[in-house]
Amino acid sequence: MNVEYEFLKVETRATGLALVTLNRPEVLNAFNTRMAQEIAGFFIRAGTEGSGIRAVVLTGAGDRAFCTGADLRERNNMTEEAWSRQHVTFETMFESILFNPVPVICAVNGLAYGGGCELVTSCDFAYASEQAKFAHREVKLAIFPGGGGTQILPRAIGQKRASELILTGEPIDAQTALAWGLVNRTVPAGELIDAALRTADIICLNGPLAIRQAKKAIRYGQDVDLHTGLIFEREAYHRLIDSSDRREGIAAFNEKRNPVFTGR
């Protein structure tokens, strides 16, 4: 995945871990059209089975913001047609993360406002610095969250809490986000990236096919009744039985050694 980016920093490790940094700190990592295209392009490539990527940590450059959503300077005087075209690009960006088969951990290092908050909820789970803040301020601009915010956020934290966040446009702090279930853990700012990378490293050591199938079962099972979800789970599970990784995992256990998974 040797791709040059203008607004992303991508660091990969031999384990299959990728650290992706939104890199527009001068505008609090707000995304313009080009940045959204780069994010979508990276995650689409990372999600292919031959990419070698087993887990991703997504964060923002600097210590002030993770991401403050769409760059409104680019949208100033934008025509309705151009606005709609751009929003399709943004939709593709969010879905490239939300439906990615690879686990994505968000490391929220500061403000996560508007589309930045939607990036957080598009990830599988999130850690936040103790100084992080979260908000959906779109209603203050006479729009509302259109990158999945009205659908994913209520599923993550409940309808009433999501309604308060979206309808008031007011921010919540990291401690409230933790209590509401928006993030899994809060840590001191200087420890955030290391904490996220340690968790990603653990994921990278596990069977990659099993991780992909488990993530798929979790994600799609939320949208169906329990009986249908169990059917989906069993189908996903049985796809792993005839895999080299499954045989390697059982052999390694019995031989009391660390397994070497190849994703096959």
pLDDT in tens, 98-107: 999 999 999 9
Enumerate the CATH 1.10.12.10 domain ranges in the chain, comma separated: 207-254
Catalytic residue among 4, 26, 95, 138: 138
Cα separation, 258 vs 132, whole angstroms: 38
CATH fold label, 8-204: 2-enoyl-CoA Hydratase; Chain A, domain 1 (3.90.226)
Q: Of the listed 4, 38, 81, 118, which one is catalytic? A: 118
Under CATH, what is the fold of the domain 207-254? Lyase 2-enoyl-coa Hydratase; Chain  A, domain 2 (1.10.12)
pLDDT at 1: 63
10-residue averages of pLDDT along the chain (264 residues): 89 95 98 97 94 96 96 91 94 97 97 98 98 96 94 96 97 98 96 97 94 92 91 92 90 90 87
Q: How far apart are CA 110 and CA 123, in angstroms?
A: 16
Known catalytic residue: 118? yes
Question: In whole angstroms, how far apart are CA 77 and each of 43, 59, 82?
Answer: 30, 30, 10
Q: What is the pTM of this model?
A: 0.94
Interhelix angle for 244-254 vs 208-221, to 10°?
110
**CATH 3.90.226.10 domain locations along the chain:** 8-204
Rounded to 10 degrees, the C-alpha dihedral 72/155/131/21 comes to -60
